[in-house]
Amino acid sequence: MDRFSWSNGLLEINETLVIQQRGVRLYDGDDKAKLDVGVALLSTHRLIWRDGKNHDCCMAMPLSQIIFFEEQAAGIGKSAKIVIHLHPSPANKEPGPYQNSKYSFIKLSFKEHGQIEFYRRLTEEITQKRWENTPVSQPISTGTGPQTGRTRAVGIVGIERKIEEKRKETDKNISEAFEDLSKLMVKAKEMVELSRSIASKIKDKQGDITEDETIRFKSYLLSMGIANPVTRETHGSGTHYHIQLAKQLGDMLQAPLEERGGMMALTEVYCLVNRARGMELLSPEDLLNACKMFESLKLPLRLRVFDSGVMVVQLQSHSEEEMIASALDNVTEKGSLTAEEFAKLLGLSVLLSKERLLLAEKMGHLCRDDSVEGLRFYPNSF
Amino acid sequence: MSFEWPWQYNFPPFFTLQPNVDTRQKQLAAWCSLVLSYCRHHKLYTVDVMEAQESPVFNNKKIERKLSVEAIQVVFEELRKKGNLEWLDKNKSRCLVMWRRPEEWGKLIYQWVSKNGMNNSVFTLYELSNGDDTDGEEFHGLEDWMLQRSLQALQTEGKAEIISMDDGKGVKFF
């Protein structure tokens, strides 16, 4: 009986309860232990016994202590027993109910039966030796009395703690991985500052640096995605790339524009151009910058922005007055039109047809009827 | 004689507040004159805003269009600026509609007085608005508050004087 150590009876994280049986009395060797009848619990790691009345009185022994065990049949006035033969205690064994014992075996007496099942389970556990797969530490000793608290616990608290540990681990990993990136970001900031200062210096000293070099530098900046205030000048000091692109667009868009009545939304242009290119796609920014240069390059196209913010590319020959006059005719003919109806009539996109109707309203040629049925335009009879 | 609706009343855009400034001016002008002529025709002097929403003036069931509450408020504000409307409460829930301004009423009353040679006579207010003599005149049935204002306008012009009598007010015309 000196192999037992005081315990609080709580299972460790990886420890599972296998079977428990009440009405068990312990024997130190052949002698009855100075304990009352209690509950015997078998786990994957230990044999635990708890006093039936005083739950604070609880002890445990690792299953690794067991050499072998056997059944002892019941007799007259005697309950069935399991005799368990034990290894000697390890040197660091925690204190238990017995300091020493002359016996190397104990008995479990099953006053309320249950020995058959207990024996079977015990056999299983001893065979499987599951405690070797998932080792648990020895309980921390808080004194010679029964254990009360532990740092690791089972149940919800245990799970929570496990999650917390895992989170800390992940956090650490991520921080390590991104250590380099934050250094890079610091450097990038410096680079941007540097480019900006150079750009402003160029702007100031325009005479000293040749046009070529300026353009080249600006193209580097643009390729890095840094907005350069110098390129925004209206007399089109855009990069070479954008100039070429604008000329290309000028050729490419003539036919489609004429098909569509002289006007296309910028989004339509974007899709058309990129579909045609296949590879080497244009970014929206590049397209926009190229379109802004139409006028300065004297190309027959124009980029136009409506009040609502919608951007279109239109032929220079496109006359807005004509469009509005024809819109008014259409509306008068039909009495009234919605943007959708007008779009269908003209073969335009709904977006563009709405813009045209709004423009006509702005000029005072049309007025609107806004109801639950939708937005409809009438000739302005007011 | 039934009320004649103006052509705008059957024009759906009339019931949408127009964003175009010039168009809106014309639209509001039309609304003001519609409200005033409607009130004149039905001899309405006070309007409750909540009730107005359902009134045929702002709600044309035939074309299924009605003026929104915000737009009604804009129309009323326009009338107020012109001097044809006065709010009775701070919450702007009830108002007086003066489809004829007090000065105009005063003029009509004075004309009648002069025509019948009754200058220098004294009338009670009741006699003016509800007396048999005035039956058939436009100002017959004029509500008290309006009558008083009209007479006050005349008083300002020096054409009448409001006097207190035993059981109310009266007026002497010069």
Residue pLDDT, tens place only, A166-222: 888 877 777 776 777 777 777 777 777 777 777 677 666 655 556 666 667 666 666
A179-194 confidence digits (pLDDT tens): 777 777 777 777 777 7
Name the residue among B16, B22, B30 with its Cβ closest to that of A368: B16
Q: Which residues of B touch A (CB under 8 A)?
A: 7-8, 11-13, 15-16, 18-20, 22-23, 26-27, 30, 64-65
Chain B residue numbers touching A367 (CB-CB < 8 A) = 13, 16, 18, 20, 23, 27
Tell me the shortest Cα–Cα distance from A371 to chain B, in angstroms: 7
**Contact yes or no for B20 and A336 at CB 8 A:** no
Same domain? For B116 and B58 the reply is no
Instruction: Give the number of A-B residue pairs with CB atoms closer than 8 Å.
Output: 43
Task: Count Cβ atoms below 10 Å from residue B50 Cβ, excluding itself.
Answer: 10
pLDDT at B38: 92
Mutate to test the interface with B, among A308, A365, A367 (most CBs of B within 10 A): A367
Q: Confirm or reject contact between A382 and chain B (CB < 8 A).
A: yes
Same domain? For B89 and B104 the reply is no
Chain A residue numbers touching B34 (CB-CB < 8 A) = none
Mean pLDDT over B91-117 rounds to 87
B155 near B162, Cβ under 8 Å? Answer: yes
A3 near A93, Cβ under 8 Å? Answer: yes
Token pair recorded at residue A12: 């460790």
Tell me the shortest Cα–Cα distance from B54 to chain A, in angstroms: 16
- Reported ipTM: the value is 0.77
Same domain? For B85 and B113 the reply is no
pLDDT at A99: 84
Same domain? For B70 and B144 the reply is no
Can you give the three-state secondary structure of A290-341, one letter per residue?
HHCCCCCCCCCEEEEECCCCCEEEEECCCCHHHHHHHHHHHHHHHCCEEHHH
A356 near A324, Cβ under 8 Å? Answer: yes
pLDDT at B19: 92
B130 closest CA partner among B122, B139, B120, B119: B139
Using the predicted structure, report yes or no on whether residue A30 has a pLDDT greater than 50.
yes
Using the predicted structure, report yes or no on whether residue A230 has a pLDDT greater than 80.
no
**Contact yes or no for A382 and B19 at CB 8 A:** no
A138 closest CA partner among A8, A323, A19: A8
Among candidate residues B70, B95, B120, the one where a domain is terminated: B95
Among candidate residues B66, B95, B124, the one where a domain is terminated: B95
pLDDT, chain A, mean = 81
Same domain? For B32 and B12 the reply is yes
Same domain? For B30 and B46 the reply is yes
Q: At what angle do helices A240-259 and A211-223 cross, to 10 degrees?
A: 70
pLDDT at B116: 86
In which residue are the tokens 């009323």 written?
A: B76
pLDDT, chain B, mean = 88
pLDDT at A233: 40
DSSP A45: S
Tell me the shortest Cα–Cα distance from A332 to chain B, in angstroms: 14
pLDDT at A367: 92
**Contact yes or no for B15 and A367 at CB 8 A:** no
pLDDT at A155: 80
The vertex-B169 CA angle with B165 and B172, nearest 5°, equals 85
Residue A368's pLDDT band (cuts 50, 70, 90): very high
Residue A35's pLDDT band (cuts 50, 70, 90): confident
Q: Confirm or reject contact between A368 and chain B (CB < 8 A).
A: yes
Q: Confirm or reject contact between A359 and chain B (CB < 8 A).
A: no
Specify the higher pLDDT residue, A47 or A209.
Answer: A47
A307-355 confidence digits (pLDDT tens): 888 899 888 777 778 888 888 999 999 988 999 999 898 888 888 889 8
B110-149 confidence digits (pLDDT tens): 888 888 888 888 888 888 888 888 888 888 888 888 888 8
Q: Report the chain A residue with the minimal C-alpha distance to residue B29.
A: A382
Using the predicted structure, report yes or no on whether residue A231 has a pLDDT greater than 50.
no
Residues in chain A: 382
pLDDT at B36: 92
> Structural domain of residue B120, as residue ranges?
100-171
Q: Report the chain B residue with the minimal C-alpha distance to residue A368.
A: B13
pLDDT at A263: 86
Tell me the shortest Cα–Cα distance from A362 to chain B, in angstroms: 6
A266-305 confidence digits (pLDDT tens): 999 999 988 888 777 888 888 898 888 888 888 888 888 8
A41 closest CA partner among A24, A66, A28, A27: A24
Query: Domain with B154 in it: what CATH number?
Result: 1.10.10.10
Q: Confirm or reject contact between A286 and chain B (CB < 8 A).
A: no
Same domain? For B84 and B105 the reply is no
Using the predicted structure, report yes or no on whether residue A239 has a pLDDT greater than 80.
no
Assign A126 to helix, strand or coil.
helix
Token pair recorded at residue A317: 């020959």
pLDDT at A213: 66
Assign A70 to helix, strand or coil.
strand
DSSP A261: T
Same domain? For B91 and B104 the reply is no
**Contact yes or no for B13 and A369 at CB 8 A:** yes
Using the predicted structure, report yes or no on whether residue A237 has a pLDDT greater than 50.
no
pLDDT at A90: 85
Using the predicted structure, report yes or no on whether residue A149 has a pLDDT greater than 60.
no
pLDDT at A141: 43
Query: Tell me, what amino acid is at A336?
Result: S
**Contact yes or no for B16 and A378 at CB 8 A:** no
Q: Confirm or reject contact between A234 and chain B (CB < 8 A).
A: no
Query: Domain with B21 in it: what CATH number?
Result: 1.10.10.570
Chain A residue numbers touching B20 (CB-CB < 8 A) = 361-362, 364, 367
Mutate to test the interface with B, among A331, A334, A337, A369 (most CBs of B within 10 A): A369
Domain annotation for chain A: domains and CATH numbers: 5-131 (2.30.29.30), 239-311 (1.10.10.10), 320-379 (1.10.10.10)
Query: For residues A41 and A47, what is the distance between their CA atoms, to the nearest angstrom?
Result: 6
Chain B residue numbers touching A364 (CB-CB < 8 A) = 20, 22-23
Residue A137's pLDDT band (cuts 50, 70, 90): low
A317 near A325, Cβ under 8 Å? Answer: no
Entry pTM:
0.50
Chain A residue numbers touching B13 (CB-CB < 8 A) = 367-369, 378, 382
**Contact yes or no for A369 and B26 at CB 8 A:** no
pLDDT at B88: 87
Same domain? For B10 and B43 the reply is yes
Same domain? For B74 and B55 the reply is yes
Chain B residue numbers touching A370 (CB-CB < 8 A) = 16
pLDDT > 90: percent of chain A = 14
Among candidate residues B95, B119, B136, the one where a domain is terminated: B95
Tell me the shortest Cα–Cα distance from A222 to chain B, in angstroms: 42
Same domain? For B137 and B63 the reply is no
pLDDT at B148: 87
B169 near B124, Cβ under 8 Å? Answer: yes
Residue B10's pLDDT band (cuts 50, 70, 90): very high
Same domain? For B128 and B66 the reply is no
Q: Confirm or reject contact between A381 and chain B (CB < 8 A).
A: yes
Name the residue among B13, B26, B30 with its Cβ closest to that of A368: B13
How many structural domains compose chain B? 2
